[in-house]
Homo-oligomer: A and B are copies of this chain.
Amino acid sequence: MASIHTQNSSIASFIPVHPESHFSIQNLPYGVFSTVQDRNPRIGVAIGEFVLDLAKIADMGLLPASAPVDVFSSSSLNRFIALGKDVWRETRVAIKELLAEGNQTLQADQEVRDRVFVPVNDATMHLPVDPPGYTDFYSSKEHATNVGCMFRDPANALLPNWAEIPIAYNGRASSVVVSGTPVRRPNGQLKLPDAPRPVFAACRKLDYELETAFVIGKPSTLGTPISGEEADEHIFGMVLLNDWSARDIQQWEYVPLGPFNSKTFASSISPWVVTMEAMVPFRVPGPPQEPAPLPYLAKGGNDTYDIRLEVSIQPETSLASATICRTNFRYMYWSMQQQLAHHTVSGCNVRVGDLMGSGTISGPAKDEFGSLLELTWNGKEPVRLPSGEERTFLEDGDTVVMTGWCQGDGYRVGFGEVSGSILPALTPEFE
């Protein structure tokens, strides 16, 4: 289904990049990292198996003067992002030049190379942005239909507002964590069928949600909506997002104000933010929308992206992970432009670093479903892993790995991965 894109494919770096590496010179995603030698978190760019240390590059005067040198020594991308689109573009051009095959500036001097290129395995990755806000949409028609079938009425699975509104809710920004952070199984209220009252217990239906999120690059003013046409100006880049979900807690708590404890215990994002500039060659049209949305949600042309996505699970006792879902971002019904136009249409303002989650990304086929809830049909049809183990929901010790990339002609523009392992629940004191 995904097409091969050929733009930019002729550019190469003097740093060797495997064709399946996510971090080609066409990508250049930003992240925040530290090392044992230098524990100060700072900004880097991934290239092949290395992180290019932008703090050091900036100190050497090799980045555009439009960005203050110390901005690259920040512990988040927020200050850099806030400098605006011209600076993003100039910085990207400068980095691309420095890494290009023929450029000798860094290449020629082994001492310089040793200083500015950190092997990716030696880098500890930190949360790339400090998100002032985190919103989660619900924009996959397949996902919303699956959930509606399970929890409401299969005959009317999609609620009447779903095809009119890019439905969203405010998530909890404080518990957004970077890939690799262990996730503790939450305790909470569960209401068992036929029980007169809920019990307080560890979640029994712990799930992941395969998502992406876009990162706001340009703020808006309270009271002033962002139109669909203006939306791209406000988006810096994208990350992978695992919106961990406690299904049993969710089902008991979510009426009438939406999910809360079932979501707020953790949301994991990839350490690398892929810029929208890098993704331009992968723009594709989204699915048709029927009915045609209201004018403020008018659909653009190539308004989505061809991003291949995979989810794998590795039980604690297994040596290998098993891929249990392969899907694509382009299935999403509502585009990012429509999401942002809707988010701000009532006057709500956005801020630099805000995360806007896509909602679970499910495709039409069963192995394209983006959550265990859907893959196992609420636990009724266990997924069989190659190790012989079965899963309905996540077990303690399981590691969930999500990955995603755009496939070019001989190169990839990818997100790396977002992963997390499940720790057992705390034993409540009052048990």
Interface residues of A (CB under 8 A from B): 132-133, 138, 159-161, 164-165, 167-175, 177, 184, 186-189, 191, 197-200, 203, 222-223, 225, 227, 246, 249, 252-262, 264-266, 291, 294-296, 298, 342-343, 345-351, 354, 426, 428-430
Contact = CB atoms under 8 A, between A and B. Distances in A.
B168 A350 contact: no
B261 A345 contact: yes
Given A189-B164, A266-B222, A348 B257 contact: no
Nearest to A164: B198
Contact of A348 (B265, B343, B347): B265
Nearest to A347: B265
B258 A348 contact: no
Contacts of A191: 160-161
A69 B265 CA distance: 37
B296 A177 contact: no
Given A138-B257, A260-B170, A188 B345 contact: yes
A307 to B, nearest CB: 24
Nearest to A203: B346
Contacts of A173: 132-133, 173
Contacts of A264: 170, 343, 346, 348
A225 to B, nearest CB: 8
A381 B174 CA distance: 42
B256 A254 contact: yes
Residue of A184, A188, A347, A350 most packed against chain B (CB within 10 A): A347
A6 to B, nearest CB: 37
B262 A164 contact: no
Given A164-B197, A175-B349, 9 more contacts: A133-B173, A167-B257, A168-B257, A169-B257, A169-B258, A187-B345, A222-B265, A246-B346, A264-B346
A257 B147 CA distance: 12
B257 A175 contact: no
A359 to B, nearest CB: 9
A184 B225 CA distance: 12
Contacts of A261: 342-343, 345-346, 348
A258 B186 CA distance: 22
Contacts of A266: 222, 347
A295 B200 contact: yes
Contacts of A265: 222-223, 346-348
